[in-house]
Structure 1
């Protein structure tokens, strides 16, 4: 009785070719095939062997060094076959310069293969390093900007980070939402500057906030703690704009430190929640005055960094307030942010000048058995 076993096309330990390797291999094979057909059509005399030198270099542009080596070996073998055939077809009286040229061409293919393998090896190491850095950036993003929602306390919450560059997934914009003993607390902020220093300061602010948000009953005390953390970590000209939000029993409290005011979406209207008095950013000892709003079920609040307000095309800024309800007022909060990002990218034709952090929350109603709303700065007084 015969048994037929279906084997896997790849041996253990070997992985399928990457798209780049497949493209490079295909282009090189096509070139070899074309040159071979031209040689066959030209007769027994070999005139085009030197063109095969391009095959390993063509593969080296996209493929791995192993693929390049295979292409080079194949090109050398094909070239040597044509050279040998041409030499056997000639008689002694024939000009030997043609045979010498063909032999030189075959040697040139072999040398070109070695050079192409070296080039592909260097390119492959660089590509692997870039891929590793991208993985590290993704890990850093997850550590600094943790995913939000979909539910935090009584709020449906979603966050989104839109990078202005394709090579970086995280910058100096930050956000967080926490369910604390004093209600759901959120922060959104923007570090002055870009690069690693901005990422470092953003991580410091978020680390401090994740601690003090559970320890301070008053949002103004949270601001004071964050201001000291920023002042200890930056120079005289560095700062962080921030807006802090607290939802407690349906009462919304906002303190603003030089940040764009959040937008309240209610029954088709878009209301900018400007602070009662301006305050400087974190790092400049802001003295904040809270703004208090009573929430209704279904209310949504958009927190954003100034990259959204500065997005423009042909000198015209993106009309955030005009489009906010149409883009954000329907579906889930995550759907709303996705719609906003799509509209924004289309508006600027895919070219952003600054990173953008977005947080959208929806108030779904007070918790069952919740106590009366007490603003954060009155919690200590009410308990005493």
Structure 2
């Protein structure tokens, strides 16, 4: 009898099953087989039919509503067969079969609701991923004379996406990079991130002075946000081995040099974009082999048991070897192990390496001095 039910189920479920549906179906079949064995071993009447109602309930915890309905149908068929095997069908036996039908209907409806919600989450996640990928295009492996890699680490598997942003482009004024973090989450944050990046991809080619780049970005943000919205950002330029950084309320980049990790704090603090920041550039002379890590505040806020991830202590060991892409992969692995796979915020990472001056390199002049000379 059970083999016939199994064949019936396979005929009903022709499409490939998900792992959850296979698990639910397998557990339900085992339970139905166990109850059937009890009934046949007892032999004196249908005493265990009500237990068959547990089979669709068990399947509903893992499987789709179609699998749950099929399991309930199989349980009903088995229950009816055992009921009519009695010389006389009692009221209790009939009630047990009716209970199987009722429970099957209820748990199939619940499984249907759960399945629709799961499908909506998957679809929203897919749409969010597409929207974010349209904003954040891949970087590297080479931008100008720099080796560059970028990584975006999402804090959640659902559709709640963040507004972290990054870009690196080769301009007439050197390689220019930006990393930023929009206040808030969701599609509004992605929209503002796209505005910032769109403006940056234009003005980075047009403005010789990084301070002028910041002013243009600030106006773009101010035109498109409310009074309490803002974007933290750091804009970086490498020109002939000279590194220039302007920082608007963003975590300072980390310079990795000969085993040391140096936070490149700005000469003076400045507010985020949207609050009319007045920035002072920080200028550093790069050495061959130097690496620079740009990151959003999700990295600094990652913690477990109240202890923050020791970024500065581990940065050289994780990022100082292999390619820049290898370094970011190592950092992501160490970070996820630290927080047990549960991040509170999205994280954007950009790692670049300076190999040394290339042939035909012009005299190193910071962009803000270029702007002064041309004005």
Give the TM-score, by structure 1 length: 0.88
CA–CA distance in 1 between the matches of 2:363 and 2:300? 36
1:159 aligns with 2:163: no
- State whether residues 160 and 185 of structure 2, in contact with CA within 8 Å, keep that contact through their aligned partners in structure 1: no
Change (3 A) 1:232 1:128: same
Q: Secondary structure at the match of 2:162?
A: coil
Question: What does 1:243-262 align with in structure 2 at a 5 Å threshold?
Answer: 243-262=234-253
- State whether residues 173 and 357 of structure 1, in contact with CA within 8 Å, keep that contact through their aligned partners in structure 2: yes
1:42 aligns with 2:53: no
1:31 aligns with 2:16: no
- State whether residues 161 and 170 of structure 1, in contact with CA within 8 Å, keep that contact through their aligned partners in structure 2: no
CA–CA distance in 2 between the matches of 1:252 and 1:284? 25
> What are the ranges of 5 or more consecutive residues in structure 2 without an aligned counterpart?
1-9
- State whether residues 162 and 189 of structure 2, in contact with CA within 8 Å, keep that contact through their aligned partners in structure 1: yes
**107-116 or 38-47, larger mean C-alpha shift:** 107-116
Q: Deviations over 1:260-292 (max 9, x none)?
A: 211111111212212222222111111212222
Q: Secondary structure at the match of 1:301?
A: strand
Aligned pair partner of 1:270 in 254, 258, 261: 261
CA–CA distance in 2 between the matches of 1:182 and 1:169? 37
Give the match for residue 77 of structure 2: 77
How many residues are treated as equivalent by the alignment? 365
Q: Secondary structure at the match of 2:244?
A: strand
Question: What does 1:131-170 align with in structure 2 at a 5 Å threshold?
Answer: 131-168=122-159, 170=161
Q: Deviations over 1:127-162 (max 9, x none)?
A: 211111111121122112222212211111111223
> What are the ranges of 5 or more consecutive residues in structure 1 without an aligned counterpart?
1-9, 91-97
- State whether residues 171 and 355 of structure 1, in contact with CA within 8 Å, keep that contact through their aligned partners in structure 2: yes
- State whether residues 293 and 352 of structure 2, in contact with CA within 8 Å, keep that contact through their aligned partners in structure 1: yes
CA-based RMSD of the aligned residues comes to 2.3
- State whether residues 138 and 169 of structure 1, in contact with CA within 8 Å, keep that contact through their aligned partners in structure 2: no
Q: Deviations over 1:351-370 (max 9, x none)?
A: 43333221111112334333
CA–CA distance in 2 between the matches of 1:122 and 1:350? 28
Give the match for residue 228 of structure 2: 237
CA–CA distance in 2 between the matches of 1:326 and 1:276? 28
Runs of 4+ in 1 over 6 A off after TM superposition: none
Change (3 A) 1:348 1:109: closer
**233-242 or 254-263, larger mean C-alpha shift:** 233-242
CA–CA distance in 2 between the matches of 1:240 and 1:151? 27
Aligned pair partner of 1:309 in 296, 300, 316: 300
